[in-house]
Amino acid sequence: MTRRISSNSDASNGDASVGKTSNDNAVNGGASKRTTPRKAHSRTPRRAASSDAVKSPKEKVSQGSNSRKHGSEGKRDTRIASSGNSRSKGIDSKADGFVDARRMRSNKDVNTRLSQAGVSDEGVFTRPKVIDFTQRLREKRQANAHVVMKRVLIVVSTVALLCALLWFLLLSPVFLLNASSIKVSGTNTWVSASRIEDIAEQQLGTSLFIVSTGDMEEQIGELPGVTSATVHKDFPDGVNIDVNAQRPAAVLKDAKGALTAVDKEARVLNAVGASVDGIPIIEVSSVGKGTDDAAVKQALKVLAVLPESMRKQITKVSASTQDSITTEISNGQYVIVWGDSSQIALKKAVVDKIINDPTKIGDKHQVDVSAPLRPIIK
């Protein structure tokens, strides 16, 4: 009796709840207006479904988005947890969180899976290579040693090349001055070519690159009778010497009758057996005294600038003092008093004008041009 009453009461309670739910659905605009009796074990889920059905569309959308968010967060937490578990299985870590990189497992399996799956490894972070700093330091020292050795080899090779080049240019027989390659031109009977060659041969065995042509020209120019000298290098082992040789300015005749040719600087010319025809003669007591005499030096300067046609006609030169230089032309036909060697160009022009103009010279025989602007004809 008791069990029947409970069943009825349960049924009545179930009908009442169903009726209430139906009324709520009708009020909220639900589609179901009639609800059939349900068993006790299925009433609770139905009420949950009914509550979901009663919700508005906006609430349903909000609930769906929240459920998706919670679902994705749950999946991400699951992946992080699984990743942490997988890492913790292969890595031994200390309490302070330091990871011993030497005990990290290789990523070979990961790369294999990525390649099998057809996924590119661009952008995939991989574990860095573990570096042995001792080995790295040894490699760095070896690299530095190689660089130093290379630089040393370059320097040594450069120095050796320069030394070889210097030896070839300065010491090799190719460019050494050779006696057979010395050529002299412009000499005469009063200027010996052998003396010029002797000067050039002082630098035999010297590389033509360092042969001093300036010193050679200076020494040759100091020779008696040489007005100027020019030296040109003739590679690989010779020189060309061109001299401007002059005839003697005069011949000094000493008390014994010996003749010595001198140039305008009173330097004795080296000539043996040369003819003195056409060269003015100056009588002196001795050659040594004559070359040191001021009057003789002035006479030589005057004679050196006279034209060759007049020099050949001079038969006597007297120089008692340095300002009384006198020359006789054509055995005394004309006597020219020059004075000293000052204004010698003007004096020469005046003499040429007078002796070559019969209206000027007339029957006179002496012309004094010691004062060229006021010549005296006697």
pLDDT tens digit sequence for 100-126: 656 666 555 556 655 655 555 554 555
Which H or E run contains 376? Answer: strand 376-377
The answer to whether the beta carbons of residues 233 and 211 sit under 8 Å apart is yes
**Which residue type does 92 have?**
D
The answer to whether the beta carbons of residues 364 and 333 sit under 8 Å apart is no
Written as six digits, the tokens of 364 are 């006179």
How many CB atoms within 10 Å of residue 329?
20
Q: Smallest Cα–Cα separation from 338: which of 329, 327, 349, 330? A: 327
Q: What is the pLDDT of residue 289?
A: 87
Q: What is the pLDDT of residue 212?
A: 92
Please write the tens of the pLDDT for every residue from 254-283. Answer: 888 888 888 888 888 865 456 777 888 898
The answer to whether the beta carbons of residues 14 and 37 sit under 8 Å apart is yes
Q: Which residue has the tokens 């005990």?
A: 103
Per-residue pLDDT of the chain (378 residues; tens, 9 = 90+): 334 433 333 433 444 343 333 444 433 444 333 444 444 444 444 444 444 444 444 454 445 445 554 454 545 554 444 444 444 444 444 445 666 656 666 555 556 655 655 555 554 555 566 667 888 888 889 999 999 999 999 999 999 999 999 999 998 899 999 999 999 999 888 888 888 999 999 999 999 999 999 999 999 988 888 888 999 999 999 999 999 988 888 988 888 888 888 888 888 886 545 677 788 889 888 888 888 999 999 999 999 889 888 888 898 898 888 888 999 998 888 999 999 999 999 999 999 999 888 888 888 889 999 999 999 998
CA distance 210 to 195: 22
The answer to whether the beta carbons of residues 237 and 175 sit under 8 Å apart is yes
Q: Reduce the DSSP state of residue 366 to 3 states and report it.
A: strand
Which H or E run contains 135? Answer: helix 133-166
Q: Which residue has the tokens 């959308």?
A: 61
Distances (CA, A) of 212 to 107, 206, 207, 217: 80, 10, 10, 9
Residue 173 phi/psi, 5-degree rounding, is -65, -10
* Predicted model pTM: 0.53
CA distance 141 to 151: 15
Query: Going edge to edge, which strands form the sheet with 250-253?
Result: 259-262, 250-253, 281-283, 314-319, 325-329, 334-339, 366-368, 376-377
Q: Smallest Cα–Cα separation from 361: which of 324, 329, 331, 339? A: 329
Contacts of residue 54, defined as CB under 8 A and 6 or more positions apart, other chains included, come to 24, 25, 28, 30
